[in-house]
A and B are shown apart, each in its own frame.
Chain A
Amino acid sequence: MRALFSPSLLPLSAAVIAEPRDNFLSFLSFLRSALVLAWLSYKESLRRILSSRVLSECMRRIPLPLLARALRTNVWMVWMSELPSGQVLPVELLPPPPPSADNPELCAELEDVGDHELSYKRTRGGEKKKILVFLHNLSKPGLSKQSFLISTVTFIAADLFWTGDVARIRQDKAAELVEVLYSPLFSLWGLQEAKHLHSACLSGRHLLRSFINAALNREEAVHVLGFEVGEEELKDGLKGSPIQRLHFHNAYTDPLGWTDNPTFTVHQFCLEELTRLVKQTSHPKPATLVIDSLSWILRHHSPPAVCKTLQQLRKGGAVRAIIALLHADMHQRGTVGSVCQLATSVVTVAPGMKGDEAVAKITKRSKSGKVMQDEEIFSIKEDLTVAVQSRPSHLGPKQTDPEEQETDPTANLTFNLRLSDTEREAKEKLSLPFVFSKEKKTALLHSGPGSGRILYEPDANDDYDQEDPDDDLDV
């Protein structure tokens, strides 16, 4: 099975496919690969299915970033509009298809039964199972055996979750089948784990929401580029705040501009468009721009382009502040670092110990280049105000090592190093040999004319230690 999902085929999920039920994450990556493949082969069918029921269902149940993270790449290109029934879209393989057709390992697993028919054998629990994949009408021009295999792999992948004996499908039934296949997957979403895993992400969005709320209460115009949360959901969360100054640019329903009149697409993320957008509404004060989320944009634009736009916005003066949500675990470390380097403040949210608490690590840099860091536990109250509970105990006051506490090395000596007053007096009285009188000293130090003197001009190259070499001693 592993060979099927060789790295060349599925770069990210090669290892986890074998035991998909082991943990939640591998489940997610399984889902991703399965859906990506399904989409590759059954783009049009899937569109129909995902748009109608399954996807909307799963959108309702699954926190969106989590799903996006699970799917990571292409599935979000599946557009959720209803297609007129009977319309056949040209089948094209949008992303470059994985080079699997010539992969002997892959073919070894599959048995070519006949024309457009493949049989797939697999063992689970000592018992052999066989799936027959029956695909009709796939021999259209433009559809290679490659994509044929991919579609097969999809069903094999789906089979790992589907315990049915034989899946025998035809293309016109494919939509049905996919739905059937995937519905048990989606029913799993009620999982406790999902909630737990996602709490940090949620508090990130809550924090974003409370930032919006605070800006609105300051009587500032707020522009939201919403890719991940719909308008209603956002406004529901902002009940009780003056939302007439909130401008929602809907990139949630049609992020890629597949319909005729998209409100905002990801391709519009550039300086000119955003300035135009912000300037449309006349407010005396510069607006606050909220990006929910930057992860979405970073997947469709190159990081240098995104960073350039952000920097231009910052310098441009059209917006007062930019607040962006970034799912840091979805990107490479360098990308996150580069984006964070542009920001004046970075709040990193991690799940806290208790249910609604979260830990925020705040890094602020001032204009002078000074960096301040802080770590706080916070929770967000009903009215979207942030309640800072306490500092985490492990960061609290500096732990003072008992050993470090100013040990006086002269304390426990077996002999006396100190002088009492009488002893000192006695010491002063003692006249040492070769000690000259004051007069003689003065005469020696201020030598008159004719006597020898050392003339030394100190030089910068002199090896002279400017600091007291002994100032680090405790004695």
Chain B
Amino acid sequence: ETMKQYCGSVMAAPMSSAGKPSAERSPFNTTSFQKKTRSRLISIPGTRPSVQNGQLLVSTGVTSLDYLLGGGLAVGTVLLIEEDRYDSYSRMILKYFLAEGVVCRHELFVAAAHDNPDDILQELPAPILDDVAIHKPVEQPRLSCEPQDSLDAMKIAWRYQNLPKVQSALASSSRFGHYYDVSKTMEPEIRQAAKCHRFYLPEHPTQSSPTHSTMLQSYSALLKSLQEVIHREGFEVAAPMSKSRNILRIGLHSLGSVLWGDDLCCHDNPSNSHALTTFLYGLRALLRSSLSVAVVTVPSHLIQDRALMGSITRLCDNAIALESFKGSERETNPLYKDYHGLLYVRQVPHLNCLASKLPDHKDLAFKLKRKQFTIEVCSSISHDLLRQRISVISGGVFLLKKIVGQQLLRTKVRTGNYIT
């Protein structure tokens, strides 16, 4: 029943009439069937409705991750990232997520126990706002490498010569998500333009009040602070439509780690094993009724209790896991030489539906290029297959040649016989 309610509120998010009862429109609508019109969607910058189910989506900042998650993160949902061993890439995705929020003028909420949220915000990657100009030398297709001036450049497929370059398409108005240059950090002016709420655990003295709840002090303080921000800044779905709506992007770094006071990672049988799951229930309920979206990273490699990790995953809508090759024997494996790690999709959201589409590919890998973080289908297997196929083909050609040669010889002999 609660699930149904959640779904309802998630669905309600994109509708502008959330605050108004449908009675206002009733003179014109005599039937309960209404034409779904686009004009009723709120236009919040940096969001778009999903092609599949009309859910309001925001970009994670990593275009390939958006694609993997079915277009983006649905507003009101949680993305869980299982950290890689040294938390380098999970942290990067979190920063991408926050940077995208800054560029889209969303509000941010950053919570951390290890580093000051300000440190995380200072490391946000620089957006490539004018990415058409910058991307051209990098992403030009082969087409343009060929001399443009001579028409003879294409001899056979010459009709294609004047077709526009498709690359420019990514700069078109329908683009979703931005590109970032991880080698640079975002300029402070851009960063400070975005409204950001910070939660740094050491600055929140947790009063030791005897509570009966299973939740830890740190988590309940975080949840309370989050609730307060959502209420104060009017991110609730039910809030009056007085001003233009915005999205709250919530980034929670390394939840469940020791610095949150949680011994989830330390022991096989943690004493407060339900603290994080209780928190996630609360977070989920909070998000479902507000225009907000959260990314949570968890050091899952330290959590010994797999069943517990399973229930944590279940409590988040999206869940991905990162496995960095750093320090593992896979680093030197030629199969993975082009990549920096593997990415597993643990869970995709089931929003307003019974089943959801899993990504087509099971073997996903990520790599950090000089400037960009991308997720790709691990192509090493197909690479090897291709190589095999080539050798098969060449072998086949050899056989063919032999057969034809013999056939020729045979005809020759036969005709020779004929003559004589």
Contact = CB atoms under 8 A, between A and B. Distances in A.
Physical interaction between A and B: yes
Interface of A: 302-304, 307-308, 311-312, 315, 332-335, 337-338, 341-342, 363, 365, 368-371, 373, 398, 401, 404, 409-410, 413-415, 435, 438, 441-442, 444-446, 456-462, 464, 466, 468, 472-475
Contacts of A441: 151, 158
Given A308-B258, A369-B87, A466-B139, A435 B265 contact: no
B259 A311 contact: yes
Given A304-B266, A466-B167, A371 B326 contact: yes
B397 to A, nearest CB: 7
B362 to A, nearest CB: 19
A307 B142 contact: no
A444 B166 contact: no
A338 B386 contact: no
A223 B362 CA distance: 53
A458 B164 contact: yes
A115 B341 CA distance: 69
B257 interface: yes
10 tightest A-B contacts by CB?
A458-B169, A307-B258, A303-B266, A369-B88, A371-B86, A338-B258, A337-B302, A335-B266, A304-B258, A334-B265
B301 interface: yes
Given A304-B263, A315-B202, A441-B158, A457 B151 contact: no
Contacts of B268: 332, 334
B302 A460 contact: no
B394 A409 contact: yes
Nearest to B394: A413
A234 to B, nearest CB: 29
Given A438-B151, A472-B383, A409 B202 contact: no
A334 B159 contact: no
Task: Report, as a range, how many residues of chain B touch the other chain.
Answer: 35 or more
Nearest to A401: B334
B172 A457 contact: yes
B277 to A, nearest CB: 17
Given A303-B258, A435-B155, A446-B162, 8 more contacts: A311-B114, A334-B268, A341-B302, A369-B86, A409-B391, A409-B394, A445-B158, A456-B164
B334 A404 contact: yes
16 contacts: A304-B261, A307-B259, A332-B304, A334-B303, A341-B299, A363-B86, A369-B87, A371-B86, A371-B324, A409-B387, A409-B390, A414-B401, A445-B159, A460-B174, A462-B166, A472-B382
Interface string B143-172: 000000001100100110110101111101
B169 A464 contact: yes
Contacts of B334: 401, 404
Contacts of B195: none
A337 B263 CA distance: 12
Interface in B284-328: 299, 301-304, 324, 326-327
A173 to B, nearest CB: 42
A304 B216 CA distance: 12
B397 A415 contact: yes
Contacts of B166: 458, 462, 464
B201 to A, nearest CB: 9
A326 B102 CA distance: 42
A401 B337 CA distance: 14
Interface of B: 51, 86-88, 91-92, 114, 123, 139, 141-142, 151-152, 155, 158-159, 161-162, 164, 166-170, 172, 174-176, 202, 257-263, 265-268, 299, 301-304, 324, 326-327, 332, 334, 379, 382-383, 386-387, 390-391, 394, 397-398, 401
A335 B176 contact: no
A458 B168 contact: yes
B151 A445 contact: yes
Contacts of A415: 397-398, 401
Given A401-B334, A415-B401, A444-B159, A462 B267 contact: no
B267 A308 contact: no
Nearest to B154: A441
A475 B258 contact: no
Contact of B172 (A307, A337, A460): A460
A29 to B, nearest CB: 19
A462 B165 CA distance: 13
A334 B172 contact: no
A304 B92 CA distance: 25
A475 B390 contact: yes
Contacts of A337: 265, 299, 301-302
Given A332-B304, A338-B257, A341-B87, A445 B161 contact: yes
A473 B159 contact: no
A300 to B, nearest CB: 14
B85 to A, nearest CB: 8
B235 to A, nearest CB: 28
Contacts of A363: 86, 327
Given A341-B302, A369-B91, A302 B327 contact: no
Contact of A371 (B88, B260, B299, B302): B88
A460 B326 contact: no
Contacts of B155: 435
B379 A472 contact: yes
A410 B394 CA distance: 8
A459 B172 contact: yes
A314 B314 CA distance: 35
B88 A338 contact: no
B270 to A, nearest CB: 9
A258 B267 CA distance: 29
Nearest to B261: A304
B86 A365 contact: yes
Contacts of A342: 114, 258-259
